[in-house]
Amino acid sequence: MAILAVKEEIILSALLMLEGSSHGAPLRNKVIELSKKEIVYGTLYNLLEVLIRKGYVTSQKSDPTPVRGGRSKTIYSITKKGKNALEETLLMHEHIRESIPNFESEI
């Protein structure tokens, strides 16, 4: 059973919401929207490298674009293994929440 760290969970969720793949800027914006917290590009790219090593994300270079002075973008995509890990983590959260008696009541 693969259980994700919170930031990994947010990044994989953001990738799924962005139709499974994205380059850095839209992904960062979606992560900020989901977490309601700022994330600098360095942190995002470090986490993406961890997710790549775990087999949850792949990366590939796009064709060069004239807008970027002929440079390519790196496109990050969630893998089936990443989607499965996210699903297991979300199910675990759901199970934990349902297991807490009187969670909804005021203390």
SS3 13: helix
Q: What is the pTM of this model?
A: 0.89
Contacting residues for 11 by C-beta, under 8 A, at least 6 apart:
27, 31, 44, 47, 48, 51, 57
* 55: its two tokens: 């087999």
Domains of the chain: 6-99 (1.10.10.10)
pLDDT tens across 51-66, in order? 999 999 999 998 887 7
pLDDT tens across 27-43, in order? 999 999 999 999 999 99
CA angle (81 as vertex; 11, 76 as ends), nearest 5 = 45
Q: Residue 27: count other Cβ atoms within 10 Å of its Cβ.
A: 23
